[in-house]
Structures are given as C-alpha cells and as structure tokens.
Amino acid sequence: MQSKIGKSTLEIVVGDITKQDVDAIVNAANNRLTPGGGVSGAIHRAAGPKLWKECKTLGGCKTGEAKITKGYNLPASYVIHTVGPRYSGSPNDAVKLASCYRSSIQLASRYKLKSIAFPAISTGIYGYPMEEAAKVALSTIVEELKKLDSQMLVRLVLFDKNAAEIHERIFQEILKELE
C-alpha cells in the first residue's frame, strides 16, 4: 500500500528490513545499541561486525532518541538506531514511541536522506500491542511528513501479513480523519 502525504510518500509492505534498498533503515535498538535479538540482531548480522564497532562509540541511546551509523554490508547507506519503550500500559509509552518515529525522521531529514524504512518499533520483545503501536507510528509519521519541505519516502516494513493489515486499516482511518 502506498499513499502521498504532502510532498512525501508512505508505503506499508511485508518484508525483511535488512534487504530494503533505501537511504536508511531504522533499528529498533536497546539502550546500549548492542546487537540483541529480533530486528536489532538481524540488522547487526546483515551489516557485519563494523556496525557494532561503530555503535560502541556512540555512548548508547536514550528511549525515544535516535542516532545514526553507516550501513556497512546492508543495501541501506545508514542505520538509524532508536530505542522504543517497553510497554507498560502508561500514557507515557505512546509519547516515547512517537518520539522514536519523530526523532528518526528528523535525523534522516537533517542528513538529507530521501528514503527511510521502519520496523514496527517496540512490538516484539518490548511487548507493545500491534494495534496501539500502529496508531502511534502512523499518526506520528503523517504529522512529520506534513512538516517536511523536501520529498521523503517512508516505508513501514512489517514482518507478516497480519501486521501489515493492521497498519493499513489504521492508516485508512487516519486518512479519513485528515479529509
């Protein structure tokens, strides 16, 4: 699924984030930026050991913030690392999750990147319910894309058809609200 937002484009696809041919992919990282499991482990394995070597120089990353490294062996030139919240059911979870998407898009924009691919941040071992996470992610992405003066492709790369269907449905609801 693809839709225009301002000068930019939002895509929702099922796929492997490590194989995305975009300027930057987003790593759903932990605070220490260590390889870990899930998306982060897959990104580190695909990028090779130089990614972890560079991550060690960054001094970690706070929840909701974003930091950038080279992409090394990935098709993407850069990896934007952001730390999502561990789901607790608190309203602060949504604030921190929104900050992940906002910080990542703003960092990509500062680096003049034209395309960025996100996983569904915090929906794996951090336990964020997919539906709630999708609402936060999509509303934040739409809000940020409307502010951009330049074109950017934002691709949400989801691991299965069910996750993609949830994101597509919620995106359609957000688009109706904007009309």
Q: Where are the domains of the chain?
A: 2-178
pLDDT-above-90 percentage for the chain: 93
Model pLDDT for residues 119-169, shown as the tens digit of each residue: 999 999 999 999 999 999 999 999 999 999 889 999 999 999 999 999 999
- The whole-angstrom separation of Cα 27 and Cα 44 is 9
- The whole-angstrom separation of Cα 177 and Cα 46 is 39
Superfamily of domain 2-178: Leucine Aminopeptidase, subunit E, domain 1 (3.40.220.10)
Strands 153-158 and 115-118: parallel
Residues facing 68 on adjacent strands: 80
- Unique residue bearing structure tokens 């906002």: 102
The overall longest dimension of the chain from CA atoms, in Å, is 47
Q: What is the pLDDT of residue 35?
A: 93
| pTM assigned to the model | 0.96
